[in-house]
Amino acid sequence: MKLKILISAAILCLLYYFSGSAFIPIPQPDTEKKKFSYSRFAANLKKKLDDTTTGYGISIYGKGVLVEHFTHGLKRKAHDGGDKAFEDSDRLFIASMSKTITAIATIQLLKEDGLTPNTLIKDYLPPDWELGNNIDKITFRDLLTHMSGIRSNGPQDCNGELYKQLKCKISKGVRLDSMAVQSYQNMNFALLRIIIPKLEGFNHLTGEANDTSTANKYTRYVHKNVFDKCGLSGRALTKPDLAENVWYYNLLYPNLAGQRFPGDWTPYLGAYGWFVSVDDYATVINKLFHSDKLLDKAWRDTMTTDGLGCYTYGGDHGGYYWHNGGWSDSESVGIGNLNTCWMYYPDNDVMCVGMVNSDIPGWFPDILAHEYDKAWK
């Protein structure tokens, strides 16, 4: 017994000596490890959004199963024809969350054609388009990560998501130094609206006829290979169902009429233009991360790791994948605002989609990340 005590004392002395100051105790297991609560996450979001928005919908999945699902507020205010409650089936203009849909479709076809994100896009552009300087150096990865060098500058005829504007922009070329800097541009994903049909095997037409043809073929491909595969046949729209009475509001001018985003948005697809409900969009993201119906694991990992149509947010529990959407002009009286965002938390296999038909108190990715982090206790 005395020998054991002496040996233990010797070990303690050695630890004291090599530590250089004082004895460092062996760390003990954390008996108070934090646990995540779905109900707390939902309550956090309600507290954040209930009194600071006009109306919203939230869907929360855990391990591939819908766990929390709720709406709050109004989709139409009294002065626009009477109060109407926000419903989970309402299809909102999802703005730039459309880019994730376009990325999924693009990656599907890259895989099918035996291509990679590093494949050059030049052979998939219309043959009657003039290719300006360095366009022949742009890859699919560059478009999907906003590293193409394309900028919103020069004449207005060359800035925008319409076919003729994209044709003009490509003819002007890009600068090599611009290709070294990421710059968020809707035109990158609008170009994929024109390229996806070629990837599928369509031979571009010449002239303006190619505009309508590529837009329609893009739309059909996305319906068949994204929405239909998620059991959402006929649910996503490219022009609003005005009978659903979804309006969008600028809270800086609460007494003015809202906005409705009327008309056909097919000519702008790729970057934005889809109308989808919060539940249906959440179904797509859930299928993306919990089945191989949209992308297999290898390509899904490529998408998230390389940031193809999504981003990574550094949260308290690792990296959270996300993409948001928004439409606002706070300086113009009466212009309606909207905010959308999806976020997937791989550390805990949780996913959230939110859609709001007005301003929100902050940046949506921040809100979804912070309220998730606070749901751990």
DSSP letters for 40-77 = HHHHHHHHHHTTTSSEEEEEEEETTEEEEEEEEEEEE-
pTM, full prediction: 0.90
H or E, element range at 140: helix 140-144
77 and 108 share a domain? no
Residue 230 lies in a domain: no
Q: Residue 219, by phi and psi: left (phi above 0), alpha (psi -120 to 50) or beta?
A: alpha
132 pLDDT more than 70: yes
In a domain, residue 187? The reply is yes
Whether 21 is covered by a domain: the verdict is no
DSSP state of 307: T
Other C-beta atoms lying within 10 Å of the C-beta of residue 121: 24
The tokens for 204 are: 């571009």
Whether 114 is covered by a domain: the verdict is yes
Q: What is the pLDDT of residue 185?
A: 98
Residue of 330 and 124 predicted with greater confidence: 124
Residues 135-186 have pLDDT tens digits of: 999 999 999 999 999 999 888 889 999 999 999 999 999 999 999 999 999 9
- Indicate the helix (H) or strand (E) that contains 282: helix 278-290
Residues 192 and 200: beta-carbon distance below 8 Å: no
Examine residue 20 and state whether it is found in any structural domain, yes or no. Answer: no
Burial of 364 (0-12, 13-18, 19+ CB in 10 A): buried
pLDDT digits (tens, 9 = 90+) for 236-267: 999 999 999 999 999 888 888 898 989 999 99
Q: Using CA atoms, how far apart are residues 322 and 363, in angstroms rounded to an integer? A: 13
Tell me the C-alpha distance between 9 and 370, whole Å.
Answer: 48
| 305, 207: one domain | no
Distances (CA, A) of 171 to 133, 159, 223: 8, 12, 31
b/e code 203-212 from CB counts within 10 Å (16+ = b): ebeeeeebbe
Residue 279 shares a structural domain with residue 352? yes
Is the same domain home to 179 and 133?
A: yes
Q: Cα–Cα distance between 301 and 22 in angstroms, integer?
A: 46
Q: State whether 134 and 195 are in the same domain.
A: yes
Asked whether residue 207 carries a pLDDT value surpassing 50, the answer given is yes
DSSP helix/strand/coil, 324: strand
- On whether residue 118 sits in a domain, the answer given is yes
User: Does residue 32 lie in a domain region?
Assistant: no
* 212 DSSP 8-state letter: H
**Are residues 202 and 112 located together in one domain of the fold?**
yes
- 113 and 76 in a common domain: no
Mean of pLDDT over the chain: 91
CB 317 within 8 A of CB 231: no
Q: Decide: 74 and 88 in contact? Cβ < 8 Å.
A: no
* Phi, psi for 341 (deg, rounded to 5): -165, 140
* Co-location of 317 and 362 in the same domain: yes
Same structural domain, 259 and 334: yes
Are residues 76 and 123 located together in one domain of the fold?
Answer: no
Q: Taking 70 as the threshold, does the pLDDT of residue 1 lie above it?
A: no
Bridge partners, residue 93, by sequence: 275
Give pLDDT tens digits for 314-324: 999 999 999 99
If phi > 0 it is left, if psi is from -120 to 50 it is alpha, else beta; for residue 240 that is beta
113 plus 78 within the same structural domain? no
pLDDT tens readout for residues 71-99: 999 999 999 999 999 999 999 999 999 99
Q: What percent of the chain has pLDDT over 90?
A: 84
Q: Is residue 327 part of a domain?
A: yes
What are the pLDDT digits (tens) for 329-352? 655 555 679 999 999 999 999 999
Contact 196, 218 (CB under 8 A): yes
Per the structure, the complete domain to which residue 87 belongs is given by 38-91+246-265+274-373
User: DSSP states of 308-322 as a string?
Assistant: SS-EEEEETTEEEEE
Nearest-Å Rg of the Cα atoms of the chain is: 25
Looking at 219, 236, 256, which one is the last position of a domain? 219
Same domain, 253 and 328: yes
Count of domains forming the chain: 2
